[in-house]
Every structure is written in C-alpha cells, then in structure tokens.
Amino acid sequence: MKQYVVDAFADRIFEGNPAAVCLPCTWPSDQQMLAIARENQLPETAFAVHEGPDWHLRWFAPTGEVSLCGHATLAAAYAICRFAEPESEKLLFQTLSGPLTVRRQGELFELDFPVYSLKQLEVTDQITDALGARPREVWRARDLVCIFDDPRTVMELEPDLDKVKALKGALMQVTAPGTGTEYDCVSRTFAPKMGLPEDPVCGSGHCHIVPY
C-alpha cells in the first residue's frame, strides 16, 4: 500500500493543511486504519479504494473515524489524479456523508460538498468564557459556529481548549466577515475533541460557514 502526504488548500509545500492519503487495493481493517492515522499524527488520514466505477473514501483522525473531511478529500483527489488516474477530470467518492464529487481543472481541484442546516443557539457565558470573547451569534449543526463582527477578534482569539472541548458540537468554527475584496470571510477551527488544538484549514467547517 502506498501512502502520500499532500498539503491541501495551498500552492506550495509546507503550507495549507496536510493530509496523508493511502491507496490500498483492498480495505485494511478499521483497527489498522486507526493505527496508521495515529502513527501519522496528521489532522486526517484518507483511505481511498477503487470499487466498481467509483472510489470509496474514508477518513481517520488520530482519535477515530470522521464522517466528513474537506482537506483530506482534496488531498485524495490530487493523489489519485497524480499517481493512479492521471487522465481523470472528475472523481466520484462514495463516503459516510454520501457521494462527493471532485472536478479537476488543470492544476486546480473543485470540491462539491454538502450544506449543513444550522440552528441558532443562545450566546451563553460558557461559550464566551471558552473563547475569551463574546460572539454576536452562535449556530450549530455538526459543529458549533460562532459569529463575530471584527476579523481581528477572530485572529486574536486564544481560547481555553478544555472549555471548548466541553461545549456542544464536534468542532468549534469561528468566523467574521472579510474587510475588503480579497476575502469574503475569515475563519478558524478549534478541534480539541479530535486531538487538535487548531485545524490549519477546515473544508467541512465551511459547509457551516458558507450557508450562514
């Protein structure tokens, strides 16, 4: 079985969000995949197996299997198109979150990801204490999403990760509108429940942020 390390959401190495990609001929056991993810100690390890007309994709963090991961899907698509199917311009992945499509346009890869339905929650003192700043709004789907007005507040947050871990939601997404034309928003992802203080870039987090 070959394994690759791909830096997603970046145009050069040692930037973006790294993911390991394994392309076995048949599925390893769940215990083996978790052991590989723990050995890698990367945010995610993707396992992709070609079955029938499609690729089947699973993601493992060092703490266990996850239901959706954006950057590891992008990394898997890159590895497949680079090393397994260089002629492919479209990949369909069968996953725990349903079918996911990745399209290649030259050197660029485009993900088609699901939209989470958000429910608004009360802004509590517990959330404020965990983040060290009071968000304007709080929403929840898979993750907890905290909305701030000022992007500088988002960038300067120093959350108490033990308190973040005690909150609802798989991950903590924090975001604010961008200040100019270069970015629509700024965002950060805190992931202590997955064994990560902060995820460098979270693709599935934007399945929450973009609908908002």
Residues identified as active-site: 44
The two three-digit tokens of residue 119, written as one number: 């429910």
CA dist 178 and 189 (Å) reads 16
CA dist 105 and 93 (Å) reads 17
Q: Closest Cα to residue 66, out of 187, 195, 179, 197?
A: 195
Q: Which amino acid is at 23?
A: L
Strand partners, 2: 23
Q: Closest Cα to residue 188, out of 205, 169, 170?
A: 205
DSSP structure string for 85-113: -TT-SEEEEEETTEEEEEEEETTEEEEE-
